[in-house]
Amino acid sequence: MAELISREGNKVSFRVAVPAAEVNRAYDQVWAGLARDVRVPGFRPGKAPRKVLEGRVGKGYVENEVRERLLQAHYPQAARELKLSLVDAQIDPGTLASGQAFNFTVKGETYPEVTLGDWRTAQLTATAPDITDEVLERTLSDLQERNASFQTVERPIEATDQVTIEELGEEGGSYPVYLDVAEAHVRDALIGKNVGDEVEITVPAHQHGDHEHPEHTVRVRVQGVQTKQLQELNDEFAGSLNFESLERLRGDLRSELERRAHQEGDAARREEFVNHLVDGMQADIPQALLDRRREAMLEEIQDDLGRQGVKWSEYESFMQEQGKLDEFMADLAKNAESRVRRDLALERLAEDLGVQLSDAEFNQTMNALAQANGLTPQQLSSQLGPNGINAYYTSLTREKGLQQALAQLGGGTEQQGTEGADASQAEQNASEPQSSEQTEETRGE
């Protein structure tokens, strides 16, 4: 049971009371899980007394698990009951005890008031690409190229050859160069040369990632030349790809290309509609909301860098030296505002359409997401936490509203259900950090 305490502007607070019966049920579930998972010497599985189990997991563990379970279930439910769309919230849990009701209070911030334009008159022009015979033949040619073989030849290098070169100098190393996709300066330097020839390749000045490279020369030795051999487009070629005939390969390939084209058209219509929605939206967005989104996106970038073994302080210093830190932060702020505006527009759209997401729909989607990530639903709930669950519910509601709106316009995507919605979509990184510099300037990759 949820009760609104106060609401001033977009600041809100409310109280939630969880009945004692629900508290007891949560305790029983946690104890049952411990009895199943915790092995105690001298006791058969599931037979160890609760006091013994508590001694194994530590005092307070059960209460923390019960508290989290109750908050994960009742906080999002209370927000839905009070029809509150919360940007963020602080939860203050009360005393928890078996056999007693559990109370907690929430202080949060709702999204600002948003007004949409008349989106029902939108004329969407994006369409799926046509899959013509020319597109099909070009795709078949690409298949030929990807499945080509190479044979060693003893002759001067030609424009479609694969050439193995050894880079001379301290950092040396051998690698293949595919001339049909190599840079012009590499191709021009190697064509006509023979095995054993030493060649100077002049690499023009260029920018790679965040680095400026002046013009320089790389000296290499030709180690081998191989010519490309394309298979003929026939039943034998189709068989090498596990198709019974070339006709079957063509038919299946066309069907797959049409499926992808349909998806591309759907994605383009979705993006066109959302842009139309945002352009016609009126909203006074608090700076605090923009700042929070920018900080969240920056934290994700820092986490991504950390997984690559790069400290944010080092990357920040590097951008500062390159004179690009201000530009990076400006782009981050711009992307944060863009994503906030999209979220607000989709949130308002779902409200205008009266979108409802049943508990059965939500639980089904949570179960599917947990399974896709190799987790149990309870593990997923624990990872997301109460705020994360609420954010995921909100994202599913927005997705459902977007699908309904597109269907009303007559150019919508196929109904995919809420399973396709991704709760983390609005939290993607504002910009991809550049990877470490590669030293492969002469390769045709």
Give the per-residue pLDDT at 210: 58
pLDDT band at 128 (very low <50, low <70, confident <90, very high): very high
Give the per-residue pLDDT at 209: 58
- Residues 168-180: tens digit of each pLDDT: 877 778 999 999 8
pLDDT band at 215 (very low <50, low <70, confident <90, very high): confident
The b-or-e profile of 349-359 (16+ CB within 10 A means b, else e) is bbbeeebebee
Tokens of 393: 């519910």
Could you tell me how far CA 352 lies from the centroid of its own chain? Answer: 28
Give the per-residue pLDDT at 51: 75
Give the per-residue pLDDT at 334: 95
CA distance 343 to 269: 17
Residue 431, pLDDT above cutoff 60: no
Residue 386, pLDDT above cutoff 60: yes
Give the per-residue pLDDT at 422: 37
For the chain, percent of residues with pLDDT exceeding 90: 53
Contact 179, 190 (CB under 8 A): yes
CA distance 179 to 438: 20
Give the per-residue pLDDT at 426: 26
Residue 207: closest CA among 430, 441, 444, 443? 441
Backbone angles phi, psi at 48, to 5 degrees: -70, 135
422 or 181, higher pLDDT: 181
- Region 149-229: CATH code: 3.10.50.30
Give the per-residue pLDDT at 435: 33
Residue 436, pLDDT above cutoff 80: no
pLDDT band at 76 (very low <50, low <70, confident <90, very high): confident
Give the per-residue pLDDT at 98: 87
pTM greater than 0.75 (yes/no): no
Residue 438, pLDDT above cutoff 50: no
The b-or-e profile of 101-114 (16+ CB within 10 A means b, else e) is bbebebbbbbbeeb
Which positions ≥6 away from 40 have C-beta within 8 Å?
48, 52, 53, 56
The b-or-e profile of 47-61 (16+ CB within 10 A means b, else e) is ebeeeebbeeeeeee
Give the per-residue pLDDT at 413: 47
Region 277-303 average pLDDT:
90
For the chain, percent of residues with pLDDT exceeding 70: 90
Region 118-139 average pLDDT:
93
Residue 29, pLDDT above cutoff 70: yes
- Region 2-110: CATH code: 3.30.70.1050
CB atoms within 10 A of CB 92: 11
CA distance 34 to 55: 12
Which positions ≥6 away from 272 have C-beta within 8 Å?
124, 125, 126
* Domain 284-445 part of CATH 1.10.3120: yes
**Which residue blocks in 216-373 are alpha helix, DSSP H?**
235-240, 246-279, 287-307, 312-322, 325-352, 359-372
Parse the chain into domains and list their residue ranges: 2-110, 117-147+247-280, 149-229, 284-445
Polymer length of the chain = 445
Give me the residue label for tokens 């965040």.
Answer: 210
Give the per-residue pLDDT at 38: 74
CA distance 68 to 104: 12
Residue 299, pLDDT above cutoff 90: yes
**Integer angstrom CA distances of residue 65 from 18, 247, 278:** 15, 60, 41
Residue 36, pLDDT above cutoff 80: no
156 or 442, higher pLDDT: 156
Give the per-residue pLDDT at 211: 66
User: How high does pLDDT run on average in the chain?
Assistant: 85
Residue 419, pLDDT above cutoff 80: no
CA distance 25 to 101: 12
Residue 31: closest CA among 53, 55, 10, 15? 53
Amino acid at 423: A
CA distance 75 to 89: 10
Residue 402, pLDDT above cutoff 50: yes
435 or 244, higher pLDDT: 244
CB atoms within 10 A of CB 435: 9
